[in-house]
């Protein structure tokens, strides 16, 4: 079940304001990881498979254990066009980054976001491995939809135009 916001019609204004299609207040945005999340992320990080080495049953268990972190990502990716498998890879990459940072993405500083997302494809690969098709999902409108609710007007305009090289401001925590 997604938590997509029901958006009211935009008021007539000289400048349309961008609004996230995802209701951020519906999520537990605690920046610290639970002990269970830490253990699950550790197991995921040791695996060479997208969702661990346990096959579909193991993948389902990992996803269930990480639901608090995974659901907001899935909801944001659901409003973006693209192949499900590429979006799934992007979600797994973001969760693996949570393990490396030992913190939920809700609590990452702008410097961490910039390092994780990279300013170039090469920087992204150095940080996350060769996930060729996942970077566009994490660097484009996804960041604006779920992770950057307090952007400047310029960043919002850039996001609406589809620019993927945006500065990542500090993300507020719950």
Instruction: Judge if pTM exceeds 0.75.
Output: no
Which pLDDT does position 5 carry in this prediction?
53
Range of the domain at 155: 28-161
Residue 19 maps to a domain: no
- Kindly tell me if the per-residue pLDDT of 139 is higher than 50: yes
Residue 168 lies in a domain: no
Using H for helix, E for strand and C for coil, what is the string for the chain? CCCECCCCCCCCCCCCCCCCCECHHHCCCCCCCCHHHHHHHHHHHHCCCCCCCCHHHHHHHHHHHCHHHHHHHHHHHHCCCCCHHHHHHHHHHHHHHHHHHCCCHHHCCHHHHHHHHCCCHHHHHHHHCCCCCCHHHHHCHHHHHHHCCCCCHHHHHHHHHCCCCCCCCCCCCC
Q: Are 167 and 139 in contact (CB under 8 A)?
A: no
Contacts (Cβ under 8 Å, ≥6 apart) of 70:
63, 91, 95
Tell me if 8 is assigned to some domain: no
5 assigned to some structural domain? no
Is 157 part of any domain? Answer: yes
The total domain count for the chain is: 1
Q: Are 144 and 79 in contact (CB under 8 A)?
A: no
pLDDT at 151: 35
Burial 132-169 (b: 16+ CB within 10 A, else e): eebbbbbbbbbbbbbbbeebeeebbebbeeeeeebebe
What is the token pair recorded at 152?
Answer: 């400047």
Using 50, 70 and 90 to split pLDDT, how confident is the model at 125?
Answer: confident
Query: Is residue 13 a part of any domain in this protein?
Result: no
The predicted-structure confidence for 25-70, as pLDDT tens digits, reads as follows: 899 999 999 999 999 999 988 887 777 666 777 778 989 999 999 9
Q: Of 66-70, 79-83, 119-123, 133-137, which gets the smallest average pLDDT?
A: 133-137
Q: What pLDDT sits at residue 38? A: 97
Examine the pLDDT at 155 and tell me if it is beyond 50: no
Q: Is 128 inside any structural domain?
A: yes
User: How far is Cα 81 from Cα 138, in angstroms, rounded to an integer?
Assistant: 13
Q: What are phi and psi of 4, to 5 degrees?
A: -80, 135
Give the pLDDT confidence of 63-96 residue by residue, as tens digits. 999 999 999 999 988 888 888 888 888 888 899 9
Residue 81 within any structural domain of the chain:
yes
137, 80 in Cβ contact below 8 A?
yes
Q: What is the reported pLDDT for 167? A: 38
């Amino acid at each position: 079940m997604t938590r997509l916001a029901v958006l009211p019609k935009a008021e007539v204004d000289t400048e349309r304001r961008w609004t996230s299609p995802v209701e951020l207040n519906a999520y537990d945005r605690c920046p610290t990881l639970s002990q269970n999340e830490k253990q699950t992320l550790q197991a995921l990080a040791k695996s060479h498979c997208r969702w661990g080495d346990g096959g579909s049953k193991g993948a389902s268990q990992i996803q269930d254990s990480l639901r608090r972190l995974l659901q907001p990502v899935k909801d944001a990716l659901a409003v973006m066009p693209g192949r499900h498998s590429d979006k799934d890879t992007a979600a797994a990459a973001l969760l693996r980054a949570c393990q490396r940072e030992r913190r939920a993405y809700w609590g990452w500083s702008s410097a961490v976001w910039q390092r994780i997302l990279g300013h170039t494809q090469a920087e992204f690969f150095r940080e996350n491995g060769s996930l060729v098709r996942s970077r566009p999902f994490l660097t484009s409108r996804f960041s604006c939809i779920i992770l950057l609710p307090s952007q400047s007007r310029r960043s919002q305009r850039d996001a609406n135009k589809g620019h993927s090289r945006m500065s990542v401001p500090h993300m507020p925590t719950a």
